[in-house]
Amino acid sequence: MTIDEEIDIMQDKDLDEAIKDLLKPTHNLVLFNDEVNSFEHVIYCLRLYCEHSSGQAEQCALIAHTNGKCVIKSGEISKLVPIFAALTEKNLTVEIQ
């Protein structure tokens, strides 16, 4: 095999890996701490829109408060966008990463 053939194979593998990465459900919806919303409001929104249990919503609110942010949902971007929109409408600070 020539060097050119090896480079072509490596480039194809890199492209395949990049495509696989884009198709993976690896996007995260991140909640950021703010000084505006109460814990109760954040917990209510996480339960309603992310379908978190009470305990899970409380943990996420606490993590966001102490660490500045918390991943609240992971998955395909098409599933995260409506949740992002709803949480943003409720004045929560969120981002899809």
| CATH number (domain holding residue 46) | 3.30.1390.10
Element holding 83 (H helix, E strand): helix 77-89
- Residue at 68 is within a domain: yes
pLDDT band at 27 (very low <50, low <70, confident <90, very high): very high
The model's pTM is 0.74
- Residue at 65 is within a domain: yes
Per the model's pLDDT, the better-predicted residue between 51 and 15 turns out to be: 51
- Residue at 18 is within a domain: no
- Residue at 2 is within a domain: no
- Residue at 11 is within a domain: no
Give CA–CA dist 97/92, Å, rounded: 16
DSSP per residue, 35-82: SSS-HHHHHHHHHHHS---HHHHHHHHHHHHHHSEEEEEEE-HHHHHH
- Residue at 19 is within a domain: no
**Position 24 pLDDT exceeds 80:** no
Q: At a CB cut-off of 8 Å and minimum separation 6, what does 83 contact?
A: 29, 49, 50, 73
- Residue at 81 is within a domain: yes
* Number of domains forming the structure of the chain: 1
